Amino acid sequence: MLTKEQIVQAAVEVLDTEGVNGLNLRRLGAHLGSAPSAMYHHVKNKDKLVVLAADHVFGEIVMPDTPRVGWREAAASLARGAYAMVVRHFWLIPAMSTHLIYGPNKARFDERSLTVYESAGFTEDGADQAAATVLMFVIGAAQGEAAQAAWRAHLRRSGADTDKELQDVTAEILEIAQAFPRLRARISPAIAAPPGDPFEFGLHTLLAGLEWRLSRPHHDHGQGL
């Protein structure tokens, strides 16, 4: 008999390949070699399955030892872990736009995030804002890679030639960029070898800004700028 854990893990595997639109209980049953009806005992419908799968992948994020490494490195570690997780599971971003994601793993991540920022010296409201801001940055930073993975999943489902489609889109991007001098100067080398790491640049800048706020005397860390 299938367990709930087996069903959720299989759902993650299908989602990683097919995306949210490619997941249904029939597809999941085929992946597990079981009848769809065998899953109804644990999962009522696709929406609940997506929520369970999303909470499951939040459990992949390693929790830092804040007292040992300090609040800023702990915050960076959580952000990097969340970013890598979202990139691995491209379907999470569209899932978060249509589902309320909750569960013990998501709660564990949120609790540790709040603990990190409170340990830095933020008030409760300030910790809420800091944690939410960093998570929004992580999701935004992962959006590009996740969108590309979702596009590839869509092409696979439609039976299209992924490599040819990518070549065609790249050629179209290059053609459009020719009309814009700054893009034209950057686009070809950027495609060959993207400069630096924009995620690390953004994360460093964001955490430096939060640290600066903490250094301001007589400042309420939960309000204003």
pLDDT tens sequence for the chain (225 residues): 789 999 999 999 999 988 898 898 888 988 888 887 778 778 888 999 999 999 999 999 999 999 999 999 999 999 999 999 999 999 999 999 999 999 999 999 999 999 999 999 999 999 999 999 999 999 999 998 888 777 777 777 777 677 787 788 778 888 888 889 888 787 766 555 556 689 999 999 999 999 999 988 655 555 544
**Contact criterion met (CB below 8 Å) for 39 and 7:** yes
Fold of 4-160+195-215: Tetracycline Repressor; domain 2 (1.10.357)
Whole-structure pTM over 0.85, yes or no? no
User: Given the structure tokens 């959006």, which residue do they identify?
Assistant: 143
Domain boundaries, the chain: 4-160+195-215
Please, which contacts does 208-214 make with residues 24 or more away whose CB atoms are closer than 8 Å? 210/75, 210/117, 210/120, 210/130, 210/133, 210/134, 211/72, 211/120, 213/126, 214/120, 214/121, 214/122
Render pLDDT for 75-94 as a digit per residue (tens, 0 to 9). Answer: 999 999 999 999 999 999 99
